[in-house]
Amino acid sequence: MAKFICVACGSTFTRPPSARGKHGPDKVFCSLSCAAKSRKREATPHWKGGKYRHSAGYILCLAPNHPRASVTGYVYEHIMVAELMLGRVIAPSENVHHLNGIRDDNRPENLVVIPMSHHSRVHSFKRIRDHKSRFQAG
């Protein structure tokens, strides 16, 4: 049996010499969980710095310690920008509204923090206005 040192956790373990790592002796792990840890976030070739675009058009940023972080540790970028502008955490009863309606435009001058109830009214008014304009155009 040959002795190896796990590259993820540093523990020493033994294996038959034929059971080397798939990518050479420098990539040997003591367990599947250590191998999986080495393939997360920064360790993958697909890592994009902790930012990605949600299918709904919003930008998400990696911030695992943020109060609004998802299970995977991501937070909507517009929430983080608004919190930096205000100097406080956004309350659960508040919403960040994009003034121009473009979901990935997170410039401070395009964001406004409003109560949830007011945010709903803003969007319902916009829907009514758009609906009426379809029938009046002609």
Between CA 95 and CA 2 the distance in angstroms is: 58
Is the pTM for the entire model greater than 0.85? no
pLDDT digits (tens, 9 = 90+) for 25-52: 567 888 888 888 777 777 777 778 889 9
Same domain for 120 and 57, yes or no, is yes
- Domain span at 10: 2-43
DSSP 39: T
Same domain for 85 and 69, yes or no, is yes
Residues 6+ apart with CB under 8 A from 18: none
Secondary structure tally for the chain: helices H, strands E: 3, 7
Residues 6+ apart with CB under 8 A from 60: 51, 52, 53, 54, 74, 75, 76, 77
Instruction: Encode the chain (138 residues) as per-residue pLDDT tens digits.
Output: 788 888 888 898 888 777 665 556 567 888 888 888 777 777 777 778 889 999 999 999 999 999 999 998 999 999 999 999 999 999 999 999 999 989 999 999 999 999 988 877 776 766 666 656 666 655
Same domain for 22 and 67, yes or no, is no
Same domain for 62 and 19, yes or no, is no
Query: What domain count does the chain have?
Result: 2
Same domain for 61 and 121, yes or no, is yes
Check if the beta carbon of residue 56 is closer than 8 Å to that of residue 33. no
Between CA 133 and CA 122 the distance in angstroms is: 17
Same domain for 25 and 55, yes or no, is no
User: From the centroid of its chain, how far is CA 76?
Assistant: 7
Between CA 129 and CA 44 the distance in angstroms is: 47
- Report CA-CA distances (Å) from 100 to 38, 44, 64, 117, 126: 41, 36, 29, 19, 12
- Report CA-CA distances (Å) from 128 to 40, 87, 116, 117: 46, 35, 19, 17
